Amino acid sequence: MNLAVNSTMSPAQDHATREAAFAAALLDPALPMPAGLTTARGRPDPLRFAVYRNNVAVGLIRALEARFPVVEKLVGADFFKAMARAFIRTEQPATPLIFAYGDGFADFIAGFQPAASVPYLADVARLEALWTRAYHAADRAPLGIAALAAVAPEELALLRLVAHPAAALVRSAFPVGSIWQAHQGDTVATPASVAAETVLVARPDLAVTVTVLPQEDAAFAATLLAGATVGDAAEAALEANPAFDFGPAIVGLFALGAFTALETPDGASDD
Amino acid sequence: MNRQTLAFALAGSLATALASAALAGPLPAEKMVGMEKCYGISLAGQNDCAAGAGTTCAGTSTMDYQGNAWKAVPAGTCATMDVNGHKGMLEPMKG
Amino acid sequence: MATAVTTAPTPDTTHRTASLPVRAGLGLKPEHVHEILDTRPDIGFFEVHAENYMGDGGAPHRALAEIVSRYPLSLHGVGLSIGAARPLDPGHLARLRRLIERYRPQSFSEHLAWSTHDTGFLNDLMPLPYTQETLARVARHVDEVQQATGCRMLLENPSTYVLFEDSTIDEIDFLDAVAERSGCGLLLDVNNVMVSAVNHRLDPFAYIDRFPLDRVGEIHLAGYDETVDGAGDRLLIDAHGSAVRADVFDLYLHTIGRSGPLPTLVEWDNDVPSLAVLLAEANRVDAALADESARRGAPLRLRA
Tens of pLDDT, residues C13-40: 333 344 899 999 999 998 899 999 999 9
Which range marks the domain in which residue A153 is found?
140-271
Overall average pLDDT of the C116-129 stretch: 92
What's the mean per-residue pLDDT of chain B?
Answer: 60
In this structure, is residue A165 part of a structural domain? yes
Question: pLDDT tens digit string along C61-74?
Answer: 999 999 999 999 99
In this structure, is residue A123 part of a structural domain? no
Nearest CA in chain C to A17: C85
Domain final residue pick, A83, A118, A153: A118
Of the candidate ranges A4-8, A105-109, A119-123, the one whose mean pLDDT is the lowest: A4-8
Residue B78 confidence class, pLDDT cut points 50, 70, 90: confident
Q: Does A189 lie in the same domain as A96?
A: no
Question: pLDDT tens digit string along C201-237?
Answer: 999 999 999 999 999 999 999 999 998 999 999 999 9
pLDDT at A9 over 90: no
How many CB atoms lie under 10 A from the CB of residue C237? 22
In this structure, is residue A61 part of a structural domain? yes
Please give the share of chain A, as a percent, with pLDDT higher than 70.
93
Q: Does A157 lie in the same domain as A264?
A: yes
Q: Does A264 lie in the same domain as A145?
A: yes
Q: Does A146 lie in the same domain as A270?
A: yes
pLDDT confidence of residue A265 = 78
Indicate the pTM of the whole model.
0.88
ipTM of the complex: 0.90
Chain C hits for B44, Cβ within 8 Å: none
pLDDT at C186 over 70: yes
Residue A40, C-beta contacts closer than 8 angstroms, at least 6 positions apart: C163, C199, C200, C201, C202
Taking the alpha carbons of C268, C100, A56, C191 in that order, is the dihedral positive or negative?
Answer: negative
Q: Does A113 lie in the same domain as A145?
A: no
Q: Does A100 lie in the same domain as A52?
A: yes
Question: pLDDT tens digit string along B9-41?
Answer: 899 999 999 887 665 544 444 433 332 233 434
Question: pLDDT tens digit string along B80-91?
Answer: 777 777 777 777
In this structure, is residue A125 part of a structural domain? no
3-class SS letters over chain A: CCCCCCCCCCHHHHHHHHHHHHHHHHHCCCCCCCCCEECCCCCCCHHHHHHHHHHHHHHHHHHHHHHCHHHHHHHCHHHHHHHHHHHHHHCCCCCCCHHHCCCCHHHHHHCCHHHCCCCCHHHHHHHHHHHHHHHCCCCCCCCCHHHHHCCCHHHHHHCEEEECCCCEEEEECCCHHHHHHHCCCCCCCCCCCCCCEEEEEECCCCCCEEEEECHHHHHHHHHHHCCCEHHHHHHHHHHHCCCCCHHHHHHHHHHCCCEEEEECCCCCEEC
Q: What do you get for the CA distance between the two ends of chain A, in Å?
A: 66
Chain B hits for C113, Cβ within 8 Å: 54
Neighbours of chain C (3+ CB pairs under 8 A): A, B
In this structure, is residue A2 part of a structural domain? no
In this structure, is residue A134 part of a structural domain? no
Chain C hits for B45, Cβ within 8 Å: none
pLDDT confidence of residue C13 = 37
pLDDT confidence of residue A102 = 97
Total count of domains within chain A: 2
Cβ pair A156:B10 closer than 8 A: yes
pLDDT at A68 over 90: yes
In this structure, is residue A1 part of a structural domain? no
Residue C286 confidence class, pLDDT cut points 50, 70, 90: very high
Q: Does A146 lie in the same domain as A48?
A: no
Query: Which CATH fold topology does C24-295 show?
Result: TIM Barrel (3.20.20)
Of the candidate ranges A9-18, A43-52, C24-33, the one whose mean pLDDT is the lowest: A9-18
pLDDT confidence of residue A268 = 57
Residue A269 confidence class, pLDDT cut points 50, 70, 90: low
**Of chain B residues 30-69, which have a CB less than 8 A from chain A?**
30, 32-33, 36-50, 52-54, 56-60, 62-67, 69
In this structure, is residue A124 part of a structural domain? no
Q: Does A144 lie in the same domain as A28?
A: no
Overall average pLDDT of the A154-175 stretch: 96
pLDDT confidence of residue B41 = 41
What's the mean per-residue pLDDT of chain A?
Answer: 90
DSSP C243: P
Overall average pLDDT of the A76-102 stretch: 93
Residue A270 confidence class, pLDDT cut points 50, 70, 90: low
Q: Which residue has the higher pLDDT, B93 or C38?
A: C38
